């Protein structure tokens, strides 16, 4: 009787509040898309608080049941709980990454501690755990489906990972750790966004813009205009006469990739390339209010303590225990082989670039001294010149064939050929920003697959990079309705400028195919339970669908489907297609090395046992350790090694730690890790901690899988439908390797990655 009264009260509150807070009730919008224009910043905090209260009551009701625990009355019941919270977080955390206004950032800062406490309350509840454990212990003998067993195991392991088996004092400390980590990780991301937005390079004369193509300059002029920097204002800022501002200027370049990458690729002004590089590579390491070094140490200290509480030597050991790789040693061995192959090839690439730099010295374009050697700020510029010399490929001649809308049309066309999907532009739906576009995705029988939103252009409120997120997960509701997902693809592509459309680089084109591979994983999901549907898979499996989808981007028959000149409509000529294909393995030494170096850096941070090291350790700082601190060990390839002999302990210096680790593995001076410690958002904010290796791990799978497509035909319907049925539709409902072998017919060939990158 009491529970019925409680839930009746909640229902009445929801009915009375649904007109006030749009996050409470079901949305009367096309396809249940959130009514973004009706949701205020205040709506989120209100809805989160109420959603927490609602789900807590639902969990209490599960615990209070008199009936013995079963999958349906415990595991499935929990899956169906927390609807308001799911709905709210689906909207909030998508916008927190893609349109994080200062007001929304403040909301997130208030919400995160509430959500962390709520999660701890659920997964440290011994009475709820007792019911889950009862189902878990009999899972193999209860007639459960494979998906139900996977879901039960996932929920059970979540309790263990949250410390349900710890004593009361340890649980209290675990709650503190989780709360502090959530806050620190959010601060790390906010600092990085602020650092990226703060820097800009203002150019006004011909020497500063030397080498930059017209399209790049048009975008930079538009950037200046958007910032309100006129010729007069530029002259004032630089202390020059207004007449000294070159016609067409001023130009502004930023650290956002669509601005930074073209500048580093084409600018012949070496001094300015170095300035841009140093600004980019020092983000979070400038000794200001956005410095992330102390944040990194605090995060790692808490992760180390959490791992110890749960019985692991290192955070890596804890994190990898339920991944495909299983152990840090397996990851270390995997990365070592790939890094060695990559850095060997990179050495050859340096030699090719140095020849061109030497020619520049001979031509008087550079001084003839010890500085005329390839440095990290030279790589993109001279690599592009090598590419033009070796493969006669000029990206500025290619970009007109890669208008953003045409590339997206090609992405959709490939999905139609492979999986029978159709895409319809939706013009009258709620959207959270004017840059966003929406599409209805249907199957070959015209049934709804899901809704796709695309958000492709950079802005100051959007973090860098590209990603896929879910506003709504796919699941089967309690009454049997197949809830179709709402998926968002987000990127930071080159914006339209000076009356020209957005023209993508080859890298941006590959990125669109990549993120759409994630979207397919979410859209095509056919699972019963949301916690194992779509991309809810292990971190080292999640990149398989995205990376596999990239393989179609530059196939000749695919290019013929979408690569058309934005002015003439001419299909990309065979000569350019040949150049693109021939250059497919170009610069792979660099690409492999910087990626593998970042993955190794991630592992080394998470293979430390403490943030305090002996004072004679090469990466010890001058800050003394507190009394009672334990000295750090580094556990690599399963072997524990001491880091010094002194009994005096000091705090780790994050910059020196990175430098030492990269020197130890043999990273050459011309390359830095793809992400340095203080702006490594993947591992200190976005859930890839001790998991960045997953991109390379999944690439073994994706290249091995694509070899099957190549052998049978890249649009072979039998292969495509097997991949759809066995992987894309299955989410995390079965063991990843079981799913892969079911599709491929065998275990993956580890050599496929090296063959694809030309490193074998």
Is residue 35 classed exposed, middle or buried when 0-12, 13-18 and 19+ CB atoms within 10 A define those classes? middle
Report the C-alpha gap between 282 and 484 in whole angstroms.
43
**Count of all residues that appear for the chain in the document:** 760
Beta-carbon contacts of 374 under 8 Å, excluding residues fewer than 6 positions away, are: 350, 353, 354, 357, 382, 670
Q: Residue 250: is the preceding peptide bond cis (ω within 30°)?
A: yes
From residue 754, give the alpha-carbon distance in Å to each of 489, 580, 699, 703. 29, 20, 10, 9
* Active site (annotated) includes residue 515: yes
What is the C-alpha radius of gyration for the chain, rounded to an integer number of angstroms? 27
Q: Spell out the alpha helix ranges (H) of 618-693.
A: 654-665, 681-684
From residue 645, give the alpha-carbon distance in Å to each of 304, 410, 453, 692. 22, 60, 56, 32
3-state secondary structure of 483: strand
Q: Any long-range contacts for 417-424 (C-beta under 8 Å, 24+ apart)?
A: 417/715, 418/715, 418/720, 418/724, 419/520, 419/524, 419/720, 419/721, 419/724, 419/728, 420/444, 421/449, 421/523, 422/446, 423/452
Bridge partners (DSSP) listed for residue 426: 438
Report the C-alpha gap between 523 and 14 in whole angstroms.
30
Q: Which two tokens stand for residue 77?
A: 């019941």
Pairing of strands 482-483, 633-636: unpaired
Bridge partners (DSSP) listed for residue 324: none
Beta-carbon contacts of 573 under 8 Å, excluding residues fewer than 6 positions away, are: none
Whether the Cβ atoms of residue 427 and residue 90 lie closer than 8 Å to each other: no
Q: What DSSP state is assigned to residue 760?
A: -
What is the greatest pairwise CA distance in the chain? 90
Give φ, ψ of 453 to 5 degrees: -110, 135
Q: Is the dihedral of CA 349, 352, 357, 361 positive or negative?
A: positive
Q: Spell out the alpha helix ranges (H) of 33-125.
A: 41-64, 77-79, 83-98, 102-123
Residue tagged 């009491």 (tokens): 2
Listed residue (521, 551, 546) closest to 728, CA to CA: 521
Report the C-alpha gap between 673 and 667 in whole angstroms.
9
Listed residue (192, 193, 253, 247) closest to 227, CA to CA: 253
Q: What DSSP state is assigned to residue 632?
A: P
Q: How many CB atoms lie within 10 A of CB 326?
A: 12
Task: Give buried/exposed letters for 356-378 (b at 16+ CB in 10 A, else e).
Answer: bbeeeeeeeebeeeeebebebbb
Catalytic residue among 515, 550, 658, 729: 515
Report the C-alpha gap between 404 and 400 in whole angstroms.
10
Whether the Cβ atoms of residue 415 and residue 723 lie closer than 8 Å to each other: no
From residue 287, give the alpha-carbon distance in Å to each of 183, 191, 255, 293, 298. 20, 12, 18, 9, 16
Give me the active site residues, please. Answer: 515
């Amino acid at each position: 009787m009491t529970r019925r009264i409680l839930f009746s009260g909640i229902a009445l509150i929801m009915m009375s509040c649904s007109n006030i807070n749009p996050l409470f009730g079901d949305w009367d919008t096309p396809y249940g898309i959130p009514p973004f224009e009706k949701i205020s910043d205040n709506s989120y905090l209100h809805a989160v608080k109420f959603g927490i209260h609602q789900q807590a009551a639902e969990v209490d009701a599960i615990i209070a049941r008199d009936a013995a625990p079963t999958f349906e009355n415990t595991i499935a019941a929990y899956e169906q709980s927390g609807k308001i919270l799911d709905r709210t977080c689906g909207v909030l955390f998508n916008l927190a990454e893609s349109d994080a206004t200062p007001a929304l950032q403040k909301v997130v800062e208030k919400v995160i501690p509430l959500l962390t406490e709520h999660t701890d309350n659920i997964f440290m509840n011994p009475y709820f755990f007792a019911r889950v454990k009862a189902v878990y212990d009999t899972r193999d003998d209860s007639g459960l489906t494979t998906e139900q067993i996977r879901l039960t195991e996932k929920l059970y392991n979540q309790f263990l990972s949250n410390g349900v088996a710890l004593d009361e004092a340890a649980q209290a400390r675990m709650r503190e750790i989780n709360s502090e980590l959530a806050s620190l990780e959010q601060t790390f991301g906010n600092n990085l966004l602020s650092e990226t937005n703060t820097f800009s390079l203002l150019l006004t004369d011909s020497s500063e813009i030397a080498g930059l193509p017209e399209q790049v300059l048009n975008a930079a002029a538009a950037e200046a205009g958007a910032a309100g920097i006129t010729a007069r204002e530029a002259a004032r800022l630089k202390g020059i006469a207004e007449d000294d501002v070159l016609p067409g200027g001023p130009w502004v370049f930023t650290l956002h990739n669509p601005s930074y990458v073209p500048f580093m690729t084409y600018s012949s002004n070496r001094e300015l390339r170095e300035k841009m590089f140093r600004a980019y590579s020092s983000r979070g390491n400038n000794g200001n209010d956005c410095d992330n070094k102390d944040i990194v140490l605090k995060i790692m200290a808490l992760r180390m303590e959490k791992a110890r509480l749960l019985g692991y030597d290192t955070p890596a050991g804890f994190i990898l225990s339920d991944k495909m790789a299983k152990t840090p040693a397996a990851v270390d061995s995997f990365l070592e082989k790939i890094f060695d192959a990559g850095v060997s090839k990179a050495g050859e690439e340096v030699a090719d670039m140095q020849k061109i730099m030497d020619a520049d010295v001979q031509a008087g374009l550079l001084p003839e001294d010890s500085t005329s050697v390839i440095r990290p700020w030279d790589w993109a510029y001279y690599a592009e010149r090598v590419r033009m010399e070796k493969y006669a490929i000029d990206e500025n001649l290619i970009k007109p064939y890669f208008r953003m809308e045409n590339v997206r049309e090609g992405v959709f066309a490939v999905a139609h050929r492979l999986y029978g999907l159709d895409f319809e532009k939706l013009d009258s739906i709620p959207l959270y920003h004017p840059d966003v576009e929406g599409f209805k995705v249907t199957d070959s029988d015209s049934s709804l697959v899901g809704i796709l939103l695309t958000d492709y252009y950079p802005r100051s409120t959007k973090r860098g990079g590209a990603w896929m997120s879910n506003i709504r997960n796919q699941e089967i509701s309690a009454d049997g309705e197949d809830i179709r997902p709402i998926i968002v693809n987000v990127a930071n592509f080159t914006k339209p400028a000076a009356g020209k459309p957005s023209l993508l680089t080859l890298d941006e084109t590959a990125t669109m195919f990549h993120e759409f591979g994630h979207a397919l994983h979410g859209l095509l999901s056919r699972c019963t339970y949301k916690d194992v549907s779509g991309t809810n898979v292990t971190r080292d499996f999640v990149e398989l669908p995205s990376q596999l989808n990239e393989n179609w981007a530059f196939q000749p028959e695919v290019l013929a489907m979408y690569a058309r000149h934005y002015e003439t409509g001419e299909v990309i000529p065979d000569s350019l297609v040949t150049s693109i294909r021939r250059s497919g393995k170009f610069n792979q030494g660099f690409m492999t090395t910087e990626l593998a170096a970042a993955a190794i850096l991630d592992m080394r941070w998470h293979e430390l046992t403490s943030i305090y090291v002996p004072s004679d350790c090469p990466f010890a700082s001058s800050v003394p350790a507190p009394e009672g601190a334990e000295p750090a060990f580094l556990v690599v390839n399963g072997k524990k090694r001491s880091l010094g002999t002194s009994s005096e302990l000091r705090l780790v210096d994050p910059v020196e730690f990175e430098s030492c680790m990269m020197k130890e593995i043999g990273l050459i001076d011309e390359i830095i890790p793809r992400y340095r410690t203080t702006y490594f958002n993947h591992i200190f904010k976005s859930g890839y901690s001790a998991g960045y290796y997953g991109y390379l791990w999944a690439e073994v799978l994706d290249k091995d899988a694509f070899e099957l497509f190549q052998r049978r035909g890249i649009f072979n319907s039998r292969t495509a439908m097997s991949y759809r049925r066995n992987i894309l539709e299955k989410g995390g409902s079965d063991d990843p390797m079981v799913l892969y072998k079911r599709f491929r017919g065998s275990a993956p060939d580890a050599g496929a990655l090296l063959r694809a990158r030309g490193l074998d």
